[in-house]
Structure 1
Amino acid sequence: MSLLNRTLTAIEPANHELAQQAAAQLTKVMEGDEDSLGLLKDLLLKYLSITGEMHPAAPDKCTVICCASHGVAAEAVSAYPEETTLQMTKSYLIGQGAAANAFANFADSEIFIADFGIKADTADIPGLLDCRIGNGTDNIAQGPAMSREQAIAALEKGIELAEKLVAEGFDCLLPGEMGIANTTVSAAICAAICNKTAAEVTGRGTNISDERLAKKTAIVEKALNLNQPDNTDAIDVLAKVGGFEFGAIAGLMLGFAAHHKAVILDGSNCAAAALIAQNLAPDCVDYFLPSHRGGEPAQGFALEKLGLTPILHLDLRLGEACGSSILARELEAMLNLWDVVSHLPHDPVETPFQQAYMPNLAPKVTNKTFDFYLSTMQDLDTQAMEVCKERLDNLVKPLESLGALEQIATEIAGIMGDELPNCDLDRALLCFTSKVSNPLQMQLTAASSQSAKADVTLAHVREGLPLTAAFDFGREQGEFLSLSYPLLGLSMTEMDEHAPFGTTADLLRQELLNADGSLKYPADEFLAHAPEAVQPFIGAMIGAIIAAAHNSALIILDDEASEIIARYTELLCPAVRPYILHVQPLLVKANCTLPGGLIAGLGMDIAEAALYMLNYMRTFAESKVAIASDGPGAQRQQN
């Protein structure tokens, strides 16, 4: 029996029974409130089913970048020349300043770079794994990419590498790829397997111009019409319109699945490889964890076919395991939370929170009024932002291909007045709570803050005092914490310790938002319409937001209640808007209604990832990599 067939035979469904047992325990401990975790619960349970362990250790991760050349690059479907594939491969291993390096560092993942068919002599590149199948594929616009035998060889080379990595102790794969014109190939694979047209699946890839996009779409259509791939036969699809690295990644996925190991999918190209793997062994999808929804249309169709729903929505368009690295951190956070929850109620963790109590007095007379903050709020440092943006444009990647992460890095530069803020910014979580806090909530907050490396202040809000007292209390907390913590998470617990998680958010949504999610009232009216019991929390949170923004902190929002209050605060004081990071549902679509810091912690990790990108990536000039010759990158990138 061939290696491929042995591997396919070894793939079996994940341990769904164990996941059901864990779900039952979660239901018991969280008293039926486990759905407040949303898709993060699904992430946790799926990982438990993959490992077959109720309490698995944190995963040993490996980032594997599969490199190969594509004959279709000759059709000028990319913004970058064909030699970029070789240059970037050298950058991973010699300069070590590519996105793959930065994000592997962020995720604490060991990185491997493999040559599956670069059209060049790569023997002199130190550390490069030689897995070559051929000297690049043929041009799919003129005929098949490769022979069927080469397609099988690509799959088996990937399986062989998977066997080696698993034997070395790695149990979580973060695959990525490098190959100019590879989004042309992934579009063709997706169109073939998902039965879509070239126009439906083809995207801008390396941020190409409208003219080149039209040409790229026509090339995908031509390749499909000419080669007629059989969508019931993944090997035929791979041979006719695929690439060596796509077969290799599919093989890696199959190899890890055969050993009950997790695979965290990245972008469109990984999704296309996953389609090939799914076609060969449908049960392998049990081992796939989707990370993000990127900018390529093919990825959306592929994820739908795979039956996978990603959590992150960062508008990434780069296939170097960037999104999967961020999800790996969130997986570890959920494993930490599970470790805490599963030992309740008998073995709770310590909750070393700072406690702050709202005085049972009228507020002190102070000149730091709402009007004071309105009149003295600082603008962002535009010079630092411009320098930061220029650096981001010239890092070794397609222009703006790291989406929201680039925007976040630029905003932090403007907030801090530093074009290159360091990665290790101190973090705190300010959590407003009532007089008595839910013990389970405190355990969940402890777990979330530990994963996020954030110090926690529980600020106890009193009812029955003027709103100015609540504002002043929140202002003092926000001002004090933002002096020491550039990253400040902002959250609140349920007002009633016995209320289900999400109750406060439900109240605010019903009273303060329209059916389409827009704000229902103007700035000067919304407080009068807010539920009376929530008004002190609103006042305190407004005070904290305005004071923290005034002190130039990045305010990272948590649950929907915090989000709604912050949106109205922006209406009251538009100058705070650049200082606020809206996490859910803008960047994260987890349907998580749990308050107390879980989503804010995820936002802190996203901000940290943005800073790793900014600090650890190198420029085109530093890396000796060719710049774009088409699209906006041709005007803004320098070498």
Structure 2
Amino acid sequence: MTEHTFTIPQKSMDMGKKVSDYINTLTKPLGSLGRLEELAISLAEMKNDPFPSVSPAGILVFAADHGITDEGVSAYPKAVTEQMVLNFLNGGAAINVFSRQIGALLNIIDIGVANDINHPQLLNKKVRYGTGNFLHEDAMSLKEVEKAIEIGFEQSMEIINKGAQCLILGEMGIGNTTASSALLALLSGKEVEAVVGTGTGITEEGLQHKVNVIQQSLQNRKPDPANPIDLLTKIGGLEIAGMTGAMLGAASKRVPILVDGFICTIAALLAKQLSPNVADYMIVTHQSVEQGHGIALSLLGKKPILDLGLRLGEGTGAAITYPIIQSAALMVKEMATFDSAGISQKH
């Protein structure tokens, strides 16, 4: 994994200024479309295009298992990862519903599920059969982290080459809120209790156990908070590394990244550590109810568009928000100006 892989262009502030001026000529009072106008300007800066398109969206769902589930940190057994991947492939999950609704390209990627899954639609990019239990050993090797990031990068390139104009990232992996909370504790410097939530719905007793497991793991592993590769190696997840790589890939091609919930935001923070410019291409779609998400968003320096009390993952929050982002792009492209419509402006 070489440094040049992460060459990310600067966003075009000049184009943003041009589009901002143009928006002010559209048939509406100044600023009356609020954050939609901000979104349209951001998209123009990202794509260096006055009339940027975000259609179709490309969705990549990375699936992987976590060894830390052996410690009883999740409400669901590890087997659910594989079962949910089959649900994705059979079109029955929430992300399938919302993907169909918005006409997105959708790829399901096995980057580290604990069992082999045979299905013609599955992209098998398995790095290993789940991570190690990071209470007792590193989650993965340095080589495996680099391979997972590279796979994510390549998958983003492939879906962009097929026509995706923006990228939505999703994940499936029982135990991944534990890995994400551990990563956030180090990235934020906050106490573990402040960043750990109930994940898929554990009890209060289960939550305290999860906190204890993470605290002990961090003492055992001692990852370097300033080194994203070391963080992933010691306490990360294969799907988190895959999403990190995919974000770097999208930004390198000026493709907007629609950041989903808690786990996706942790991947965004790691991508930003690897290449700070990547954050310029991120739009945070929603506020998750997972406890650490607000802290993660403040570190990322981004404001979410929606707050619907979501905590599913899979990329669902980003897919639900996509029509709003599409509205911002279409507003600039299709609205008349005062001159073209022959409408008098206020004095």
TM-score (norm 1): 0.53
Q: Distance in 1 between matches of 2:73 and 2:104?
A: 32
Q: Give the drift of 1:132.
A: 1.0
2:183 aligned with 1:189: yes
The one-letter code sitting in structure 2 at the alignment partner of 1:49 is E
Is this contact kept in 2: 1:11–1:284, CA < 8 A? yes
87, 102, 105: which one aligns with 1:107: 102
- Name the counterpart of 2:339: 346
2:213 matched residue in structure 1:
219
Tell me the secondary structure at the aligned position of residue 197 of structure 2: coil
Pairing partner for 1:179 from 173, 190, 197:
173
Counterpart of 2:12 in structure 1: which amino acid?
N
Structure with the greater alpha carbon radius of gyration: 1
Correspondence 1:116 to 2:111: yes
Separation (CA, whole Å) in 2 of partners of 1:287 and 1:28: 26
Q: 1:340 and 1:121, CA in 2 relative to 1: closer, same or farther beyond 3 A?
A: closer
CA RMSD of aligned residues (A): 1.9
Matches within 5 A, 1:547-586: none
Task: Tell me how far 1:283 sits from its aligned partner.
Answer: 0.2
> What letter is aligned with 2:72?
A
In the TM superposition, 1:578-617 aligns within 5 A as: none
Q: Is the 8 A contact 1:154 1:244 kept in 2?
A: yes
Alignment of 1:45-56 (within 5 A): 45-56=41-52
Correspondence for 1:148: 142
Describe the superposition over 1:589-632 as per-residue Cα deviations: whole angstroms up to 9, x where unpaired.
xxxxxxxxxxxxxxxxxxxxxxxxxxxxxxxxxxxxxxxxxxxx
Tell me the residue number matched to 1:62. Answer: 58
Distance in 1, Cα, partners of 2:101 & 2:189: 37
Amino acid at match of 2:5: T
Q: Is the 8 A contact 1:103 1:321 kept in 2?
A: no
**Amino acid corresponding to residue 344 of structure 1 in structure 2:** T
1:18 aligned to 2:15?
A: yes
- Corresponding letter in the other structure for 2:121: G
- Please tell me whether the aligned partners of residues 157 and 248 of structure 1 are also in contact (alpha carbons under 8 angstroms): yes
2:4 counterpart letter in structure 1 = R
Matched, 1:127 2:121: yes
Q: State the AA in 1 paired with 2:188.
A: C
- Give 1:220 deviation, angstroms: 1.6
Aligned to 1:244: 238
Compute the displacement of 1:136 (Å).
Answer: 0.5
Match of 1:87 in 2: 83
More deviation in 105-114 or 54-63?
54-63
DSSP-derived class of the 2:21 partner: helix
Following superposition, the deviation at residue 171 of structure 1 comes to: 2.2
Q: TM-score, normalised by structure 2?
A: 0.95
Structure 2 counterparts to residues 443-462 of structure 1, below 5 A: none
Offset at residue 32 of structure 1 (A):
7.2
Give per-residue Cα distances to partners, 1:194-251, cap 9 Å, x unaligned. Answer: 2122101100110111111111111121222221111111101111111000000000
Contact map agreement 1:62 1:170 (CA 8 A) in 2: yes
In 1: Cα distance, 2:67 partner to 2:344 partner: 61
Question: How far is the alpha carbon of 1:307 from its aligned partner?
Answer: 0.8
4+ residue runs over 6 A deviation = none
Partner SS for 2:226: coil
Percent identity for Structure 1 against Structure 2: 32
Q: Is the 8 A contact 1:340 1:348 kept in 2?
A: no
The runs of 5 or more residues in structure 1 that have no matched partner are: 350-437, 441-497, 500-639
Letter of the 1:243 partner, please give it: G
Larger RCO, structure (CA 8 Å, separation 6 or more): 2
CA distance in 2, matches of 1:439, 1:234: 55
CA distance in 1, matches of 2:271, 2:139: 18
Quote the offset at 1:28 in angstroms.
4.4
How many angstroms does 1:58 deviate by?
A: 4.1
Alignment partner of 1:280 is 2:278: no
Contact 1:250 1:274 in 2 (8 A): yes
- 1:318 and 2:315 aligned: no
Structure-1 separation of matches of 2:78 and 2:280? 36
Q: Is the 8 A contact 1:93 1:127 kept in 2?
A: yes
Aligned to 1:138: 132
Q: Which runs of 5+ in 2 are unaligned?
A: none
Contact 1:200 1:297 in 2 (8 A): yes
